[in-house]
Structure 1
Amino acid sequence: MSDRYELFLTCPKGLEGLLLEEATGLGLEEAREHTSAIRGVADMETAYRLCLWSRLANRVLLVLKRFPMKDAEDLYHGVLDVEWHDHMVPDGTLAVEFSGHGSGIDNTHFGALKVKDAIVDKLRTPSGERPSIDKFSPDLRIHLRLDRGEAILSLDLSGSSLHQRGYRLQQGAAPLKENLAAAILIRAGWPRMAAEGAALADPMCGVGTFLVEGAMIAADMAPNLNRIHWGFDAWLGHIPAIWKKLHEEATERAEIGMAKPPLWIRGYEADPRLIQPARNNIERAGLSHWIKIYQGEVATFEPRPDQNQKGLVICNPPYGERLGDEASLLYLYQNLGERLRQACLNWEAAVFTGAPDLGKRMGIRSHKQYSFWNGALPCKLLLIKVVPDQFVTGERRTPEQRQAEREQAESDLPSNIEAPTKYEKFNKNGNPIKPAPVVIEQPRLSEGGQMFANRLQKNLKALSKWVKREGIDCYRVYDADMPEYSMAIDLYHDWVHVQEYAAPKSIDPEKASARMFDALAAIPQALNIDKSRVIVKRRERQSGTKQYERQSAQGKFTEVNEGGVKLLVNLTDYLDTGLFLDHRPMRMRIQKEASGKRFLNLYCYTATASVHAAKGGARSTTSVDLSKTYLDWARRNLSLNGFSDKNRLEQGDVMVWLDACREEYDLIFIDPPTFSNSKRMEGIFDVQRDHVQLLDLAMARLAPGGVLYFSNNFRKFILDEHLESRYAVEEITASTIDPDFARNSKIHRAWKIMAR
């Protein structure tokens, strides 16, 4: 066998340049880049060293043979010609991987089968012994790559992929592969910084991959030092003496590195479910005395071990999994930017993101950007120097002005307020020196963002007197007033509920996304609301009962006030919140007219109109809805106001329930869905098609002198003209629109209907 071999090192897309530099440093010669791989030549010692020390490669493939190939027969005979007795025993186990297509082979499974057949036929003994297939733990893993008519047959020295270091047995929802994490650290300059004694912190550490990879680099630990199984273990060409020498050298280097004083390496994670898995992974890597993990939100992240320590903040913010999530992540990026500016001055930061536009919203410029791929997702690595000159803030200030502001802020603190930190400094008398407050400027809004903020503040001011007079603490403050910022914004006491309307297909998605981010950046400043209290959803054309389907499962209810009653809203779990704000005037009208009356609320949702009727002194209320979830919510609304008695809740299809009902009611309210095809219904409800039947059934239950209010929000709805021949019908839409919906007068239509 030759003393020098051709090697292919595979890697994730985008890491080729880094891998080329790493492999060259480990002894690979004549190295060249290919797509998701590099190629070069080396002796066996270098091949082993690459397996042991490469932080970036997926596999180290030793080329056994190259040959031209026109068809499946060429493939079979080309593989058959290899002296397989030099590589494995006849009764060994085998796995074959095939990549590429052409030369009459378009199915990789078929290609792998032909390679396997050739090897088995070559090794079959007269007694019938032959290799068997083991896909999971074979003695030999063979790879054949078909490239433009040439077959490249290789032995996989790695076994399983080299990114599987063995320490990460527990992982989060969207983990980075270990070799990608190592590549990001290398691009961020961590090897240099670690050699200088810098600190490393990850404010969104998940299960700790960045931290473990960073600690292994700092401790000079070979990434695959603790791997048990290798692809060359049972290979007959394996040279144990060379491998043993390299492994002993790597072990000695790791022992020396681990004996050094550990660097300050810390991780912070908001999800408590990931803390123990992260600690377990760190323990398996043997790095528990180097790395510490704490639970905490990004907004409370405090990385500095002391005021003079420098280091690297590295993180991979989560990706949105549902519509609207990406927009909601804006505040996460803003919080990260604020913490970097406040707590990491003169540090460096590396933010790996699948949403580079969000990276621009941190309020700090990146001085370098690198393209990577996380699987099939294109990503950017943003490298940042956390220095004031890179801050993107409002008014520019000189360093002297900044220092003057800090001194003024410190002098304004009450004398009895102490501001110690766990990193206190002391004067010569042993008393703690109070650190100067850090003045953090708000990131500068874009021109569009500032324009949007101005509109919000104008609307808020215009509504303020009416809100105060009516005692309302939940109302709409913006409803697509500016077409390019297409969203509805509602205030619920001290929460903001944002519904983004999906942009038309004619709008460039990137422009629509940028405008959404501009608006979200403006909302907390314009409305003086903490970013953590802004809930963002995306509203699209809905079918059936989709708008009522659960979006989340936080189960958090917020109490709001309206017309002297308390109501529960859920801002996170559903597209709608449990309170239709546009029906406020109708609920108030019902409250005023309900005294002594029997009230019927059809399609009651969370029965907010029933609560108002009970508040107005209704003799009784009956609320009907098909959803048990919303009836349970209705029960809580009634109980919250002390109206549990004489308030009946009925579960059922409204049309079926009405047909069977024989009771009379003095006041009826109907607000049906536009369309419903619930499995629990008999048939399908369409408000345009079925409203006459619905109203006839309801009017049959209306007592003499009673009133029925009918409303719906189907914008193309036309009330059947024949109803006026049977009933006294009056459209009252204009009187059911409050000032906060005056800009959107088509939000609903409403009628008052009485018997003639």
Structure 2
Amino acid sequence: MSAQFELILTCPKSLEGLLKDEATELGLIDAKERIANVQGLADMATAYRLCLWSRLANRVLLVIKRFPLKNAQELYDGVYDIDWRDHLEPTGSLAIEFTGQGSGIDNTHFGALKVKDAIVDRLRNNRGERPSIDKQYPDVRIHARIERGEATVSIDLSGHSLHQRGYRLQQGAAPLKENLAAAILIRAGWPKIAAEGGALVDPMCGVGTLIIEGAMMAADQAPNLYREHWGFNNWLGHIPSIWKQVLQEAKERSEAGLAKPPLWIRGYEADPRLIKPAHNNIERAYLEDWIKVYQGDLATFSPHPDKGQKGLVICNPPYGERLGDEASLLYLYQHFGEALRNQCVGWQAGIFTGAPDLCKRMGIRSHKQYSFFNGTIPCKLVLLNVSPAQFVVQHAEQTTEEASTTKPVAMLSEGAKMFANRLEKNKKQLAKWAKQQNITCYRVYDADMPEYAIAVDLYDDWIHVQEYAPPRSIDPEKAQTRLLDALSAIPQVFDISPEKIVIKRREQQKGKNQYERQNSEGHFMEVQEGDVKLLVNLKDYLDTGLFLDHRPMRLRLQEEAQGKRFLNLYCYTATATVHAIKGGARTTTSVDLSKTYLDWGKRNLLLNGFSERQKLIQADVMEWLENDREEYDLIFIDPPTFSNSKRFEGVFDVQRDHIKLIELAMNRLSNKGVIYFSNNFRKFVFDDDLKEKYHVEEITEQTIDMDFKRNTKIHHAWRITK
């Protein structure tokens, strides 16, 4: 009977059960699961076979000693007592991996140093020769671990981690480790499907990890067959004759597997930059006859190799890490679900995701979910049986003829239906009014139902969604579910492509935050407001360049501007100035601190055929007013709630500073002139002394248009004269 050794097989957390089954099948005796490892007994042939064939392990460790310890000296003594001449030449090289702490050992570096000293001292010979340290390719890699007062010392037979198969020299931004990819395929049932001749498709394949691992399984190819360096190569306990036999068996199995007619295995990838790396990885795995990769997104995804053939669709979609990703990911999952329902009936599907709630939006009920960790990210593998019995779909009201050509869409949840009904009602009420007013941009929804705390604005054929940050009293998971409900309803209500929906989160902004660039796409589009054209940018900034709620004020200024000298303070993108010129203003002066928005204002002027020689002044408004000596007949002031300013202790506060601001503006106003003052600070209180000194009329109600009637606190407005 061959000698038995204790082995420890390490693995990523959550793979222990699968690894135990795999190791047992490969010959490990009395296998037991531990956290992130499996332990058992095996002879040397089985140890080699585990190194070569394990698709799930990170390392195969051969235990050479366990011993109790109470302090660092006992660690040194226990390691020194091992006869290291059975493992390493005095002139050889070694590396130490140390984990755990306790028994007076506070950090892994100190523990590794004690182990190294013990080995070197034991092997140092009379000539003073001693082993050297080589962290990359040592003759022997030693693993030492302290746990609950016991030390375990092992030889690492694997060398570099077994997940590094060697074929993936190029990878994408968020790659799956190879052993995690193998675990996903095993859980998804791919080995059984492959044995029955089924197909494998990854519609978001990246550099091909999932399909390469799947092809290796189907072709009966050992995952580490082509590895050149092993941890046991220069270990003195290595038995080359047994290794050669195990390796030869693996080569023969691979040759036989690759000689079979290849299964239909395909990958699709939208990013053209990843296609060449994917091809290179496939070639290094010697699987170019088994796998084909095509450049294309879900629109080109077509998994039908032959009529009647079925198989597994597997993928690892993006998880979403940036603000606004919820929208694009939601529509990605919905689109993916639609592709499965339309093209993959009878197939199985597995979606490995860090956002499992989005799988509920695919229109197919899952029958099983498995928990995994991708590094530190908790993830789930969601399994679907793509069968009409599992579909959750609906059709809008349509004729029989229409129904035969209309694709089904994902059914809305009850919450999404409720939101969609309100949105549809608002849209119908506003569409006719907007057409009569020649307005192509307006608000359709503004947190009408408090639980759906978003604003939905229509900009021609685009939708701009602002998510208000939920209060702390709201469960974040509920808030996220409601956001996804709303986002799933919007494309259906407006019959609009998801690519034309932009989502942002709106929180209280201070200083310059609301004006800072969020993106850099430079996507400007033209909208209509009465007889004026304006440029908006939905993606690059928190605000779009057009405050929709001030539309009535801009139109009022246009009506009153004939022959007037117009001053626009805190002018932003000069939209009110454009309206004033359209109304016949004799001169216009627009002041703002931001060069970016003044340049935008210049573009708005040119868009309407107006001369850029209109005065556009970059300055702090308060300082400029103190120094200006011109007189104006019509002044519009719409200050921010807060803004950086050198003059006011570093910040402009509209409640505190509006008195000074209005006084300065009144000094520039002609005797029969008018100031229109507004702001959107909900708690704002107009100063009583100003009301006594000037004629002040609140006109807020007159400046709220039809699309903001549901939110009359959107801003305050006053008309001020001498």
TM-score scaled by length of structure 2: 0.95
Matched, 1:521 2:488: yes
Aligned match of 1:450 in 402, 405, 417?
Answer: 417
- The CA deviation string for residues 644-703 of structure 1, in whole angstroms up to 9 with x for no partner, is 433233333333333343333333222222122389998322222222232333333334
Instruction: Quote the residue 2:5 is aligned against.
Output: 5
Q: What is the SS of the residue equivalent to 2:266?
A: strand
CA drift of 1:480 comes to 0.9
**Is 2:549 aligned against 1:588?**
no
Check 1:186–1:396 CA distance in 2 against 1; reply closer, same or farther (3 A cut). Answer: farther
How far apart, in 1, do the equivalents of 2:622 and 2:167 lie? Answer: 61
- Residue 564 of structure 2, aligned match among 597, 604, 607: 597
User: 1:348-497, aligned counterparts within 5 Å?
Assistant: 348-394=348-394, 408=401, 440-497=407-464
1:603 deviates by 2.2
One of 567, 570, 574 as aligned partner of 2:541: 574
Superposition pairs for residues 103-252 of structure 1, below 5 Å?
103-252=103-252
Of 652, 658, 662 in structure 1, the residue corresponding to residue 625 of structure 2 is 658
Mapped partners of 2:266, 2:673: distance in 1: 70
1:299 Cα deviation (Å)?
A: 3.9
The answer to whether the Cα contact below 8 Å between 1:498 and 1:535 also exists between their aligned partners in 2 is yes
Q: CA deviation at 1:225?
A: 1.8
Secondary structure in 2 aligned to 1:529?
Answer: coil
Q: Give the superposition deviation at 1:336.
A: 0.7
Structure 2: where are the runs of 5+ without partners? none
> What is the CA-CA distance between 1:50 and the residue it aligns to?
1.0
Stretch deviating more after TM superposition (572-581 or 286-295): 286-295
User: Where does structure 1 lack aligned partners over 5 or more consecutive residues?
Assistant: 413-436
What residue number does 1:421 align with?
A: none
How far, CA to CA, are the matches of 2:396 and 2:554 in structure 1? Answer: 51
SS in 1 for 2:710: helix
Paired with 2:598 and 2:82, the residues of 1 have a C-alpha distance of 74
Distance 1:559 1:549 in 2: 22
Query: Displacement of 1:31 after TM fit?
Result: 0.7
Q: 2:635, 2:291 → 1: CA distance?
A: 65
- Give the corresponding residue for 1:634: 601
Report the Cα distance in structure 2 between the residues aligned to 1:677 and 1:90, rounded to whole angstroms.
Answer: 70
AA of the residue aligned to 1:20: K
- The residue type paired with residue 4 of structure 1 is Q
Deviations along 1:579-631, one digit per CA (max 9) or x if unpaired, are 11111111112222223333332222222222222322333333333333323
Comparing 617-626 with 331-340, which one deviates more in the overlay? 617-626
Match of 1:702 among 647, 657, 669: 669
Q: 1:58 to 1:458 in 2, by over 3 A?
A: same
Q: Which amino acid aligns with 1:720?
A: D
- C-alpha separation between the residues in 1 aligned to 2:612 and 2:466? 36
- Tell me the CA shift for residue 285 of structure 1: 2.6
Q: Distance in 1 between matches of 2:513 and 2:429?
A: 34
In the aligned structure 1, how far is the partner of 2:438 from the partner of 2:396?
Answer: 41
C-alpha distance in structure 1 between counterparts of 2:31 and 2:396, whole Å: 49
Q: Which moved more, 1:125-134 or 1:498-507?
A: 125-134
| 1:501 matched to 2:468 | yes
Q: Which amino acid aligns with 2:439?
A: I
Which secondary structure does the structure 1 equivalent of 2:426 belong to? helix
Which of 501, 517, 529 aligns to 1:550? It is 517
Partners of 2:169 and 2:563 lie apart in 1 by: 67
Q: CA deviation at 1:360?
A: 1.0
Mean CA deviation greater in 578-587 or 526-535: 526-535
Tell me the distance in 2 between the aligned counterparts of 1:319 and 1:78: 47
Tell me the distance in 1 between the aligned counterparts of 2:274 and 2:601.
36
Q: Is the 1:590–1:612 contact (alpha carbons within 8 Å) kept by the matching residues of 2?
A: yes
Alpha-carbon distance in structure 1 between the residues aligned to 2:556 and 2:590: 17
- The CA deviation at 1:185 is 0.7
Larger mean CA deviation between 221-230 and 270-279 belongs to 270-279
Could you tell me which amino acid in structure 2 is paired with residue 124 of structure 1?
R
1:564 to 531, 542, 546: 531
User: How many Å separate the matches in 2 of 1:21 and 1:110?
Assistant: 36
User: Which sits farther off after the overlay, 195-204 or 17-26?
Assistant: 195-204
Question: Comparing 725-734 with 368-377, which one deviates more in the overlay?
Answer: 725-734
1:488-507 CA-partner distances (Å, limit 9, x unpaired) = 11111122211111221111
2:640 aligned partner: 673
Matched letter for residue 469 of structure 1: Q
AA in 1 matched with 2:99: S
Q: 1:645 to 1:569 in 2, by over 3 A?
A: closer
Match of 1:70 in 2: 70
- Percent identical pairs in the alignment equals 70
- 1:576 shift after superposition: 1.7
| Mapped partners of 1:109, 1:396: distance in 2 | 65
1:290-369 paired onto structure 2 within 5 Å = 290-369=290-369
The answer to whether the aligner puts 1:264 opposite 2:264 as a matched pair is: yes
Residue by residue over 1:316-363, the C-alpha shift from the partner in whole angstroms, topping out at 9 and shown as x without a partner, is: 111111234235421111111101001111111101111221111110
Distance 1:662 1:254, change over 3 A: farther
Cα shift at 1:463: 1.8
Taking a change above 3 Å as real, the CA distance of residues 281 and 631 of structure 1, as seen in their structure-2 partners, is farther
Query: For residues 49 and 681 of structure 1, what CA distance do their matches in structure 2 show?
Result: 75
Does the aligned pair in 1 maintain the 2:708–2:714 contact within 8 Å? yes
Aligned to 1:434: none
Judge which range, 147-156 or 598-607, deviates more.
598-607
| Distance of 1:325 and 1:546 partners within structure 2 | 20
Greater CA drift, 360-369 or 722-731: 722-731
Give per-residue Cα distances to partners, 1:458-487, cap 9 Å, x unaligned. 112222332121111111111111111111
Check 1:553–1:205 CA distance in 2 against 1; reply closer, same or farther (3 A cut).
Answer: farther
1:104–1:692 CA distance, 2 compared to 1 (3 A) = same
Contact 1:653 1:681 in 2 (8 A): no
CA RMSD in angstroms, aligned pairs only = 2.5
> Residue 719 of structure 1: which of 670, 680, 686 is its match?
686
Q: Contact between 1:621 and 1:646, CA under 8 Å: does it hold in 2?
A: no
Contact residue 299 and residue 336 of structure 1 kept, 8 A: no
- Displacement, 1:306? 3.2
Counterpart residue type for residue 342 of structure 2: Q
Normalization by structure 1: what TM-score? Answer: 0.90
Shift in CA distance, 232/701, structure 1 to aligned 2, threshold 3 Å:
farther
Deviation per CA, 1:82-108: give whole Å up to 9, x if none.
111221222333222222222222322
Q: Once structures 1 and 2 are overlaid, which stretch shifts more, 681-690 or 726-735? A: 681-690
Sort the Cα spacing of 1:271 and 1:628 in 2 relative to 1 into closer, same or farther, 3 A. Answer: farther
1:274 deviates by 2.7
Q: Deviations over 1:503-536 (max 9, x none)?
A: 2111122222222222222222223323332222
Amino acid at match of 2:322: R
Tell me the distance in 2 between the aligned counterparts of 1:135 and 1:327. Answer: 46
The alpha carbon displacement at 1:275 in A equals 2.8
Deviations 1:115-147 (A, max 9, x none): 122122222234433333333333322111212
* CA pair 641-296 structure 1, distance change in 2 beyond 3 A: farther
Instruction: Give the Cα–Cα distance (whole angstroms) in 1 for the partners of residues 280 and 558 of structure 2.
Output: 59
* CA spacing shift, 1:85–1:174, aligned 2, 3 Å: same
Distance in 2, matches of 1:627 and 1:446, equals 44
Q: Look up the equivalent residue of 1:554 and give its one-letter code.
A: E
